[in-house]
Every structure is written in C-alpha cells, then in structure tokens.
C-alpha cells in the first residue's frame, strides 16, 4: 500500500459520527467542506455502481475555493443575468457539481424561470445518482438540473461553449452598458480535463478565444495524467502551456490541487486579466485519498468498491461507516460564503438594474425579450414578398435579404460563417464585426473552425442571443456534436447550410452532400427546413425566429431556383406546416402525388405540368420540413397526403433513406444512391437521373402499379 501525503490540515481520529461533528474547530471548516464534497461523490458513485469518482475526489478543493471565494453567483437566484457562469466541461465528474449545488443550497427554478421553493439538488437526488428522474443524471444536463449552465459530457463541448458564453458577456457589456450603469461584467469559469485537451474542438475554441482576447474567460485544466486506458503518456505528451501561450492565453501553474491558497491566488490573477483569456494548469491526483486506486485508471470511470471507499474516508479522517453524511456547519459555511456574497452582489445589481430601467427603457425592454426569446413587435415587417421570377434566385441569396431585414428589427440576431460569408451570404450589413478590442459587432469571423463555431453558437444562444453559424452543408459533419447538443438542451440555435446538393456542381463529390440531410433529420428535436424558392425561404425564417426550444437547420441552394407564382401555386405560408399542397390538377382528382423539397420542387412542378397536358392529374406537395409536418394533426397530414392515393414519388437530390415514410415501401424515390460527380450542375442532375422527365416517368409507373394492385 502506497503512503499518501496529505497537504491539507488533518483531523484527529474520530470514533463516531457524533463525536466527529463536535470535534471540528473553526479553522478546519474549509477542509471539512472539501471532504464533504469528496465523500458525497464517492458514496453516490458507489451506490449507483456507476460513475466517475476520481475527479471529484481530486478537484473538491478547486471547486470549493472557486465557489466560496470567487464565483459571482446567488444560490437563491441562480438565473441572475449578471452571474458568473461555471462550466464543468469534464462532465463525467458530474458529482463534483451536484455535491456543490447541494451544499451551496442552490434553489430550483422551473422552465419559465420561476422559483419553485425546492432545492435544485437534494440529498435524495444525490442518493439516486444516475437513476431515472433524479436531478443528478450521469452527465450534467441543461434544463434538467438548475445550476447546470449547459449540457456537458462529450469532451471538448463544454469549453467550446464557454467561449460562446464569454463572447456573449462581452457583447452584452458593449451593447447594454452605459456610463454609471454597467450591468454586465461577468466571467466564465470552466473546468476541463486531459480528454478535453485532446479533443480537436478545444484547440479550435482556444485558438479563437486567444485571437479575440477574451479576458473574462478562465479554463482550469485538471492535469491528472489519467484516462480510461491508463496514463496519458500512452498518447498525450505535448507541452500544453506552450501551446496555449502560442494561442495568446495567459498561463499559470498550480502544482498541488490541495493547495487552496495557491488556487485562490491563481484564480485572483485570472480574474484580473485585461486582454487575454487565462489557463490555469492544476496538477491533481485522480482518486485522491484512495490508498489503492489513487492515480490509477480504475479511479477514473468506475466505483471504488466498498472497502476502498472506507479506506479513503479513513485517509480523510472521516467516519468510515457513514454514507451521504453532511456534518453540521458545512451547509451553513457555504451559506456564509457564496450564499452571503452572492446575495449582496445580486441585491446591488438589482438596485443598479432599477436605475437602468428608468434611464434606458428601450434597452431594458430588449433585455427582457432576450431572456425569454421573445421578439419585438413587429419584427418581420421588413421581410419582402418576392415577385414571380422564372430565372429566380439562389435561396442563399434570398435568405440573405431576409436575414438582413430581420436583423434590422432584432438587434440581438447575430452570427457568422466559417470563413465562408461571401459564399453563404450571411453577413449583416452595417452591423460591424466582433473582433479583438471591439466587442460590439454582430458579424463573427469564426475562421475555418466549424466544430468550434457550432459550440460558440450554442454558448451565445444560452445567453439569450439569437445566434447563427453558417457553412456548406457537407461540413455540417464537422458540427454534428454541437448540433446534437443544441437539440438535447432544447435551445434555438440556428445553423445555416448552403451548397445543399449535387447542384453545387464542379466542386464534385468531396463537396456534394448526400447523406447529410437524413443524418441531420435523425437528430431528435431538430427542425430542418429546405425551402424551394425565395418566398419559402422567407417563411422558413419566420418559423426559425419563432422557435424557443428547438434548434433549426436552414438548408439553402447555391444555384438559382425559380420564384414560383403564388397566385397560381399554394401560398408559401404552408411552410409552417412542414408540407403543403403546392399544386393540384384542374377539375380532376389527383391520381398520384409528387413530394419534393428544395431545388427539386421545380422539377416536380415541371413534371406535373407535362403530365397534366397529357391528361394525367397529379398533385405536387412541397415538403420543406419533415419535422414540422409530423407535428401536424393527422387530419391535416391526411389532407395533404390522402391515404387513398398510393401512387407516390419523392424527389430530393440527396440520400433517399427515409422517404418511404411518405411514398410507402413500394413508392418511387428519386434521389442519390451514390456519391456525386464533378461537372456543371445540369450535367450532374442529368447523369444521376434527377430530372423532370425522370419524375414524369416514375409517376406513370406508379400509377400503373397502383392500378394493377387495386
């Protein structure tokens, strides 16, 4: 058995729980609080027989020092807009956060932001760690547990979103603060792990944060040198400090995670930063105090075992047979620290806010709207109706006009592209750039960092900003983890994807998306919209801006698409229903239905007109959004796609997977079953058989099949 050296103050041996509680001296209360976090975490993981005990055991001194001495946070009002944000990017160490939320007595708020009178995390929740309906799930989940600022677990996502939070804080300060009425000056504190540092998204995010010079951002890197497979020496030996210095960060080292004085000093230095983000490299020992499992991979991702838990408690001089034990005075000490300090800071801020509301009523109204994702009235008055145009316009171009019309009425709509703004057409005219030393602009230059862009957009959205990030649809693959988390968190992030099909032509199969649409549609909670013309694009933006708890993917064309005559065809407001009848035959019941999205709707219309002239009556359904259509009542869905019409053809220049839901198992699906090809767009469409003639032929075959089976 290895000999452990404990740098913190030791307690005398305690024979019983009662004797232990009576023996604590005032100068030992810090250690008592730290060990309460450790033992609650160990006990929760042990009871669940699942979880990650080692990091909470190692980092309890850090989170205690941060919350007690630095975090601007009011546990009684955890949604205070000017609070500091704490991000546990190392989400596997969730019990570190849950224990702290419990001991700090953070109060629960409901989805509308109203206090419920209950604790955010109760001891019963900790005892039910990783169990169904517990407020303590395996990884922290935003919206599920009050005090969790964002969902973490997939490594790198938390630190990426922390950059978005920091950007939002600086933009808020620039936009809202006035002399003598400085509402916003808060910081973002994030704990990250060896795994976070290995994931590529953290490099993208750190590079961007360093370039922007975000002084309100602090990452504390838990350097414990252990991952699931063993020592990080197996795979990871780079000089992190030099790497971050090259990014433009201020870097500090703390040699011992139990040295609360050194941690306190490092946090103070980071809080005083003026022009750089800060990285604190903290050397810790995973599973600290466990005599047989400290500094081992076993301490990382599995319960310690009953004997090792008792041995660790013995090392802490803790009553070893107690479980979920909270000594007298611990919660009271948290209340006198973060509780008291946070309450005063919040009260002072509320007084400032009252003065602000009197002096700046219009800006105060904006603040209220941002908090609940409400929009000014009217916010969409500037959106134009696009006239009929056979040559048409690319939907990326019409989307740009709509975006700028909305941005004129919604000052907190902002975003940017991954070095592709000239191609995605997502620049807000006259709104300025968010750049180093100038944090008031609304256009972001994310650089060629799609993954970080996705996480930053999520961080901005979590701050009440209507944020968007844009790139080509093929590169949505780089963003998928962030898109998925936006859906899991139920936040209205906006992802704009142009160059949406083989229609981008000459760039070829490396850039022509095939499987991306069905892959994005597979994410629960996503609203994906692929409009067919300029007016559907305008209506898609109306849908997107009305969302408050779902992310949206707006999928746009590079090539020009005809702007349909809405006097002849169904009104574009049908987009809100996901699918609608675009065209019906004159004077006859339809024998078949063509269902299409985006650029292929014009092919469906051309096929219908040709068939109609030959006496074959056909309905055309534009389906820009599967998700919105599925949310409609069955009666509406049956009115658009009558069950009695079995002859159906889908047309979409992408993977055909999923279209059988609408055309049936035997229905015709015109689309892509391979990668694309490099050639002009018209030639590529012809080569892969995605043409009006092919649609017409498929409709005739479907009608014949339906008749033969009747």
Q: So which residues are the catalytic ones?
A: 450
List strands edge to edge, sheet with 527-529: 433-434, 443-445, 413-417, 466-472, 494-498, 552-555, 527-529
Cα separation, 600 vs 582, in Å, equals 13
Cα separation, 586 vs 218, in Å, equals 66
- Contact in structure between 619 and 638 (CB atoms under 8 Å): no
Length of the chain: 710
The SS3 assignment for 321 reads: coil
DSSP of 50-74: -S--HHHHHHHHHHHHHHHHT----
For helices 361-371 and 340-359, angle between their N-to-C axes, nearest 10 degrees: 130
Structure tokens at 651: 């047309």
- Contact in structure between 622 and 637 (CB atoms under 8 Å): no
Cα separation, 280 vs 254, in Å, equals 7
Q: Strands 230-231 and 618-622: what pairing?
A: unpaired
Burial grade of 219 (CB within 10 A; 0-12, 13-18, 19 or more)? buried
Nearest to 645 by CA among 697, 549, 597, 581: 581
Residue 107's region, left for phi above 0, alpha for psi from -120 to 50, else beta, is: beta
- Contact in structure between 621 and 640 (CB atoms under 8 Å): yes
Distance spanning both ends of the chain, measured CA to CA: 80
CA atoms within a 13 Å half-sphere pointing along the CA-CB vector of 85? 31
Cα separation, 637 vs 667, in Å, equals 18
DSSP class of 319? -
Phi then psi for residue 27, to 5 deg, are -75, -5
- Beta-strand (E) ranges in 383-515? 389-394, 413-417, 433-434, 443-445, 466-472, 494-498
Which strand (E) or helix (H) includes residue 86?
Answer: strand 85-88
CA distances from 636 to 108, 581, 619, 664 (A): 40, 11, 16, 18
Cα separation, 551 vs 129, in Å, equals 29
- Contact in structure between 628 and 577 (CB atoms under 8 Å): yes
Residues forming a β-bridge with 265:
none
- Contact in structure between 57 and 158 (CB atoms under 8 Å): no
Nearest to 547 by CA among 564, 563, 525: 525
698: Cβ–Cβ under 8 A, 6 or more apart, which residues?
Answer: 649, 668, 670
Cα separation, 541 vs 177, in Å, equals 30
Cα separation, 470 vs 496, in Å, equals 5
Residue 180's region, left for phi above 0, alpha for psi from -120 to 50, else beta, is: left
- Contact in structure between 553 and 497 (CB atoms under 8 Å): yes
CA distances from 12 to 9, 21, 25, 33 (A): 10, 12, 11, 16
Nearest to 320 by CA among 641, 39, 625: 39
Cα separation, 275 vs 265, in Å, equals 19
CA distances from 422 to 35, 397, 425 (A): 55, 10, 5
């Amino acid at each position: 058995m290895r000999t452990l050296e404990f740098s913190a103050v030791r307690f005398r041996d305690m024979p019983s729980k009662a004797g232990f509680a009576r023996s604590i001296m005032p100068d030992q209360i810090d250690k008592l609080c730290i060990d309460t976090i450790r033992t609650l975490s160990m006990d929760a993981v042990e009871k669940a027989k699942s979880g990650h005990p080692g990091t909470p055991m190692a980092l309890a001194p850090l989170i205690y020092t941060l919350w007690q001495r630095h975090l601007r946070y009011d546990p009684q009002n955890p949604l205070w807009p000017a609070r500091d944000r704490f991000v546990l990017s190392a989400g596997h160490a969730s019990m570190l956060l849950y224990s702290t939320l419990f001991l700090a007595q953070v109060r629960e708020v409901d989805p509308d932001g109203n206090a419920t009178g209950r604790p955010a995390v109760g001891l019963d929740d900790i005892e039910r760690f990783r169990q169904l309906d517990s407020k303590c799930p395996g990884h922290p989940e935003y919206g599920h547990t009050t005090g969790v600022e964002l969902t973490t677990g997939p490594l790198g996502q938390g630190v990426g979103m922390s950059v978005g939070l920091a950007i939002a804080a600086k933009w808020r300060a620039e936009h809202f603060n006035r002399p003598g009425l400085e509402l916003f000056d808060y910081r973002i504190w994030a704990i990250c792990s060896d795994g976070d540092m290995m994931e590529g998204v953290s490099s993208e995010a750190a590079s961007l944060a360093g370039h922007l010079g975000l002084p309100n951002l602090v990452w504390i890197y838990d350097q414990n040198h252990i991952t699931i497979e063993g020592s990080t020496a197996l795979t990871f030996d780079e000089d992190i400090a030099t790497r971050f210095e090259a990014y433009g960060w201020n870097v500090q080292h703390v040699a011992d995670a139990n040295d609360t004085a050194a941690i306190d000093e490092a946090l103070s230095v980071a809080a005083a930063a003026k022009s750089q983000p800060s990285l604190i490299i903290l050397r810790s020992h995973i599973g600290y105090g466990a005599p047989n499992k400290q500094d081992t991979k076993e301490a990382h991702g599995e319960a310690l075992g009953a004997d090792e838990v008792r041995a660790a408690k013995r090392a802490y001089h803790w009553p070893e047979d107690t479980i979920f034990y909270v000594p007298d005075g611990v919660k009271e000490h948290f209340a006198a620290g973060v509780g008291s300090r946070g309450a005063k800071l919040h009260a002072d801020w509320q007084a400032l806010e009252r003065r602000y509301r009197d002096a700046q009523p219009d800006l105060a109204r904006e603040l209220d709207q941002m908090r609940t994702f409400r929009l000014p009235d009217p916010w969409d008055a500037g959106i134009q109706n696009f006239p009929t145009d056979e040559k048409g316009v690319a939907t990326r171009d019409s989307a740009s006009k709509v975006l700028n019309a909305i941005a004129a009425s919604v000052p907190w709509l902002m975003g940017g592209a991954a070095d592709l703004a000239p191609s995605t057409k997502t620049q807000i005219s006259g709104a300025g750039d968010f750049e180093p030393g100038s944090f008031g602009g609304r256009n972001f230059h994310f650089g060629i960092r799609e993954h970080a862009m996705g996480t930053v957009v999520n961080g901005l959205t979590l701050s009440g900003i209507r944020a968007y990030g844009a790139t080509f649809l093929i590169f949505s693959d780089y963003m998928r983890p962030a898109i998925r988390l936006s859906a899991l968190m139920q936040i209205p992030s906006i992802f704009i994807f142009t160059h949406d099909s083989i229609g981008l032509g000459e760039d070829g199969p490396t850039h022509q998306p095939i499987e991306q649409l069905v892959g994005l549609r597979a994410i629960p909670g996503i609203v994906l919209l692929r409009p067919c013309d300029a007016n559907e694009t305008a209506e898609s933006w109306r849908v997107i801006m009305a969302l408050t708890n779902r992310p949206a993917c707006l999928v746009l064309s590079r090539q020009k698409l005809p702007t349909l005559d809405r006097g002849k065809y169904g009104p574009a407001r049908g987009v809100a229903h996901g699918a609608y009848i675009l065209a019906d035959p004159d004077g006859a019941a339809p024998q078949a239905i063509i269902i299409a999205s985006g650029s292929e709707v014009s092919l469906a219309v051309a096929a219908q007109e040709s068939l109609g002239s030959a006496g074959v009556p056909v309905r055309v359904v534009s389906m820009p959004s599967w998700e919105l259509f599925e949310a409609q009542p069955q009666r509406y869905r049956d009115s658009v796609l009558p069950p009695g019409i079995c002859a159906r053809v889908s047309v979409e220049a992408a993977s055909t997977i999923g279209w059988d839901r609408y055309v049936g198992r035997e229905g015709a699906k015109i689309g892509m079953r391979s990668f694309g090809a490099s050639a002009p767009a018209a030639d590529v469409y012809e080569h892969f058989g995605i043409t009006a003639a092919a649609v017409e032929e498929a409709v005739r075959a479907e009608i014949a099949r339906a008749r033969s089976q009747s």
